[in-house]
Amino acid sequence: MASRLFAGLVVLMIACVAVGWPAHSAEETDTNEQLAKQITSLLNQQKEYWNAGDIDGFMRYYWKSDDLTFSAGGKTRRGWGETLRRYREQYPTPEKMGKLTFSELEVRPIGSSAVLVLGRWALEREPDPVSGNFTLVLERHAGRWLIIHDHTSREVITEEE
């Protein structure tokens, strides 16, 4: 019985794809575009704080909770305070912070109160510019979008490149 139900669902899914059933209605597309603009604006505000050398301002967009997670360098850190400490250790001066840019942003809703963001980041600084990818999960808390999880990777440049 369960296998027939599963097979029926698979056939239905294939049929939907074959007839080109739209994945999103026009209303959903408009809502998704508005959401993407909101999140992009938030990230631009965050970037402005970073580029002004203001880590505390940059951290305004992270969930101020012990449940915040930040993954980088093969480790996952927990908590807003720990994330702030890491940023302050890694970037103790405006020169180390450099100028931050984001690119290739993709914003995808996850239900009605969460968003997945994929993108690239770059720090222009002398003598060692750096860049990489990031994945953010944001949730709406008290009407504000806040980062609840950040997974950031840094590109490794080898001598042969």
Report the CATH number that the domain containing residue 64 is assigned in CATH.
Answer: 3.10.450.50
Q: Residue 32 has what pLDDT?
A: 87
The pairing of beta strand 130-141 with beta strand 114-124: antiparallel
Helix extents (H) in 19-160: 26-51, 55-58, 80-90, 94-97
Per the structure, the complete domain to which residue 126 belongs is given by 25-154
How many structural domains comprise the chain? 1
Q: What is the pLDDT of residues 8-37, one digit of tens each?
A: 444 444 444 344 444 445 455 558 899 999
Decide if 5 is inside a domain.
no
Q: Are 110 and 140 in contact (CB under 8 A)?
A: no
Decide if 110 is inside a domain.
yes
The answer to whether the pTM exceeds 0.75 is yes
